[in-house]
Structure 1
Amino acid sequence: MEKKTPSFSATILFNVLSLGLLVGSFDIATQLIKYFISTGKNPVIIFKYISSGISGPGAITDQGTNVILMGLLLHYGIAMSFTILFCLLYYRIKWMSAHKIPTGVIYALFIWSVMNLIVVPLSQTPKGPFNVLHALTELLILILMIGLPLSFLTGRIVPVKGH
């Protein structure tokens, strides 16, 4: 049976969005667990930190649930954006499907770079000093929870001619 080149369809959209939710959930679950283990504190602060990127540092001390929900939506919006971009690249660059591990690692490094060199510096989140161990831990999480899952699962959601 010949594989077909994908055309836009509700199935493709559903699969890409599902993949975005999956890798976004892998990432945030890991971050929540890591935060709780390392601090013993309620990890909901992570969503407040994410919200502070738009609403400023006051979001971190905000007691309302709206700021938490905004952080959750922002997290998944960002994860979805990176997932959609990955899928678009995957179907246009044949090398990616043939080299899944390097692709996942490189894409995670790309995400880390965009987030840490562009998004966070331009946001209103509180900034701390650069910590190499923290940066490497965050990169490892992105590799294991986003890059590699995207690399290995994207080809399964829609068969593509030549992949």
Structure 2
Amino acid sequence: MKSKVGTVLLSGLVAGTLDIITSIIIYAFILQKTTATKILQSIASGILKKDAYSGDPKVLYYGLLFHFIIAVLFALFYLIIYPYIPFLKNNTLLSGFTYGVFVWIVMNLIVLPIVFPVLPAKNLDFPLLLSILILVFCIGLPIAFITKKHYYSSNR
């Protein structure tokens, strides 16, 4: 893909799709901790607050929209920093893994505490490790590989 905009949209949409589908499958179906509806309402509640739980079906679309906006923004950030950080070019697998951890840190230690001042304490346990792994495999790696392909094909 030659276009930077196309690369950002593609990597953001792929990463966002993998992340939301994986989260729903794991948390709603396998672990039965929540529902797909509650996952999307929770995302929407970052902006809509308590109105996200009103029962309005449009909220689910807002949650999905906000989710993809966040994924595209992380894809954009990676594309911007990629040419300036040699580590990202040297090992795509390791840089994707690292970027997934970075995304987890940004979301869980910066964004969510700002948006939701009262959050449960985080413990180093299976749910925490699972949430990191989801972001590594569904966000970090796809963004890293799609961005690398963009730069590799642009420099040929």
Q: TM above 0.5, one fold?
A: yes
CA contact 1:54–1:124 (8 Å) conserved in 2: no
> C-alpha displacement at 1:52, in angstroms?
1.1
CA RMSD after TM alignment: 2.3
> C-alpha displacement at 1:55, in angstroms?
1.9
1:48 matched to 2:24: no
For residues 30 and 126 of structure 1, do their structure 2 counterparts lie closer, same or farther at Cα, with a shift above 3 Å needed? farther
Q: Specify every segment of 5 or more residues in structure 2 that has no aligned partner in the other structure, as ranges.
A: none
1:70 matched to 2:48: no
d(CA) in 2 for partners of 1:22, 1:29: 11
Q: Specify every segment of 5 or more residues in structure 1 that has no aligned partner in the other structure, as ranges.
A: 1-8
Structure 1 residues 10-159: aligned runs within 5 Å: 11-36=3-28, 37-39=30-32, 42-59=35-52, 61-124=53-116, 127-132=119-124, 133-158=126-151, 159=153
Amino acid at match of 1:45: K
Calculate the TM-score normalised by the size of structure 2.
0.86
The count of aligned residue pairs is: 153
CA contact 2:46–2:116 (8 Å) conserved in 1: yes
CA deviations 1:110-155 (Å, max 9, x no partner) are: 1111101111011138622324322211100111111112222212
More helix by share: 2
CA contact 2:4–2:150 (8 Å) conserved in 1: yes
For residues 130 and 57 of structure 1, do their structure 2 counterparts lie closer, same or farther at Cα, with a shift above 3 Å needed? farther
Query: Which structure has the larger Rg?
Result: 1
